[in-house]
């Protein structure tokens, strides 16, 4: 794409979308349209030099307005959150299928050349993720299909929609399967936060209160890999600009338990906390990790930012937000 071409980012008011808009601007994109369903005051990051629009992309007319004149569309818009949200809001997660379907239809009619869809590791079959000592997930493991109920099914269906729009209508569709993206300028409380942000918030609150105790969902031995936002942006750019038409994992292969995640954040915060385990809380699959063989073969790249390095930045940002909120509440009180 040329710097003067219009680039549209759906979900620009969200965590990854906001970072993506900033990255596009830093790379010289001079014509960016940022779209989100939330009011501008609720966007995590907002850039005045972009064409910012509040649109509900579940609606086809809104999608037509969003992509008019665009050459490249990034679809990061979805109703989603961490495990506590997606396990209890399956219908809302499924309704995001309208976003990708209508964006593809509008993009086809508007002559959009290239389309990126943000999929998820939740497309992978549950029966391959029943052990904490999980075998890293290859792209082929999405079939036979048995994804995360609700959210995972929507993502897998939308991947197929991208594939068939490419086959039938010539849109160069690219699909990245994100694995647990984290970093600053995202959700860290309220029920939609994911594990890294939630742990950072809980430890920040423990440090500020002096009550060094936190709650952990499950027994803490479930395993995951977590990818820092900068790696996510780089992988997204490389895949979008490539000629790779198949879905690719975009995720770290640094596997850790949730207990190990807590220990890393404890070290960053400089405190130790007592851990209370809620065995009845939503936990998701027992283990999940990214196999990066295919992305290394196709793009010569894989995420490289270590978990401790990324968590350092994330914790500092979350701590500042929590401290500011508590300070403001004290002033009001």
Per-residue pLDDT of the chain (333 residues; tens, 9 = 90+): 566 799 999 999 999 999 999 999 999 999 999 999 999 999 999 999 999 999 999 999 999 999 999 999 999 999 877 777 878 889 999 999 999 999 999 999 999 999 999 999 999 998 999 999 999 999 999 999 999 999 999 999 999 999 999 999 999 999 999 999 999 999 999 888 999 999 999 999 999 999 999 999 999 999 999 999 999 999 999 999 999 999 999 999 999 999 999 999 999 999 999 999 999 988 888 999 999 999 999 999 999 999 999 999 999 999 999 999 988 877 766
| Identical fold between 6-182+227-250 and 195-224+254-291+305-326 | no
CATH number at 195-224+254-291+305-326:
3.90.25.10
Q: What is the pLDDT, as a whole number, of residue 165?
A: 98
Q: What is the pLDDT, as a whole number, of residue 333?
A: 62
Q: Is the CATH code 2.130.10.10 the one for domain 6-182+227-250?
A: no
> ω before 83 within 30° of 0 (cis)?
no
Catalytic residue list: 151
- What residue ranges in 65-136 does DSSP mark as E strands? 70-75, 114-120
- Parallel, antiparallel, or unpaired for β 70-75 and 6-10? parallel
pTM: 0.94
Q: Are 55 and 92 in contact (CB under 8 A)?
A: no
Q: What is the pLDDT, as a whole number, of residue 2?
A: 61
Structure tokens at 88: 């209890």
Domain boundaries, the chain: 6-182+227-250, 195-224+254-291+305-326
Q: Are 171 and 58 in contact (CB under 8 A)?
A: no
Q: Is 245 helix (H, G, I), strand (E, B) or coil?
A: coil
The continuous run of DSSP H or E covering 260 comes out as helix 258-269
Packing angle of the helix pair 258-269, 195-209 (nearest 10 deg): 40
Cα–Cα distance measured from residue 185 to residue 175, given in angstroms and rounded to the nearest whole number: 24
Q: Are 107 and 74 in contact (CB under 8 A)?
A: no
Backbone angles phi, psi at 324, to 5 degrees: -65, -40
> ω before 144 within 30° of 0 (cis)?
yes
Q: Is 74 helix (H, G, I), strand (E, B) or coil?
A: strand
């Amino acid at each position: 794409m040329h710097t003067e071409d219009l680039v549209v980012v759906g979900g620009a008011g969200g965590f990854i979308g906001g970072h993506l808009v900033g990255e596009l601007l830093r790379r010289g994109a001079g014509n960016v349209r940022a779209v989100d369903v939330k009011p501008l005051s609720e966007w995590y990051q907002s850039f005045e030099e972009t064409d910012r629009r509040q649109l509900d992309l579940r609606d086809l007319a809104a999608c037509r307005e969003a992509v008019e004149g665009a050459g490249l569309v990034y679809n990061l818009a979805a109703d989603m959150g961490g495990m506590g949200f997606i396990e209890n809001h399956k219908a809302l997660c499924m309704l995001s299928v309208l976003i990708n379907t209508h964006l593809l239809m509008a993009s086809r009619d508007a002559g959009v050349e290239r389309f990126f869809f943000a999929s998820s590791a939740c497309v992978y079959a549950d029966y391959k993720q029943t052990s904490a000592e999980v075998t890293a997930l290859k792209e082929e493991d999405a079939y036979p299909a048995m994804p995360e109920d609700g959210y995972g099914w929507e993502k897998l269906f939308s991947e197929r929609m991208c594939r068939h729009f490419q086959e039938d209508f010539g849109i160069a569709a690219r699909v990245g399967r994100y694995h647990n993206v984290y970093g600053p300028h995202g959700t860290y409380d309220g029920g939609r936060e994911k594990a890294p942000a939630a742990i950072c918030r809980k430890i920040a609150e423990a440090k500020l209160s002096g009550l060094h105790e936190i709650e952990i969902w499950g027994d803490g031995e479930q395993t995951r890999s977590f990818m820092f936002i900068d790696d996510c942006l780089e992988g997204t750019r490389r895949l979008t600009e490539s000629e790779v038409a198949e879905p690719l994992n975009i995720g770290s292969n640094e596997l850790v338990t949730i207990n190990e995640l807590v220990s890393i954040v404890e070290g960053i915060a400089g405190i130790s906390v007592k851990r209370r385990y809620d065995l009845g809380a939503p936990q998701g699959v027992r283990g999940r990790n990214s196999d990066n063989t295919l992305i290394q073969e196709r793009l010569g790249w894989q995420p490289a930012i270590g978990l401790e390095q990324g968590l350092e930045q994330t914790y500092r940002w979350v701590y500042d937000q929590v401290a500011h909120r508590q300070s403001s509440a004290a002033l009001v009180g």
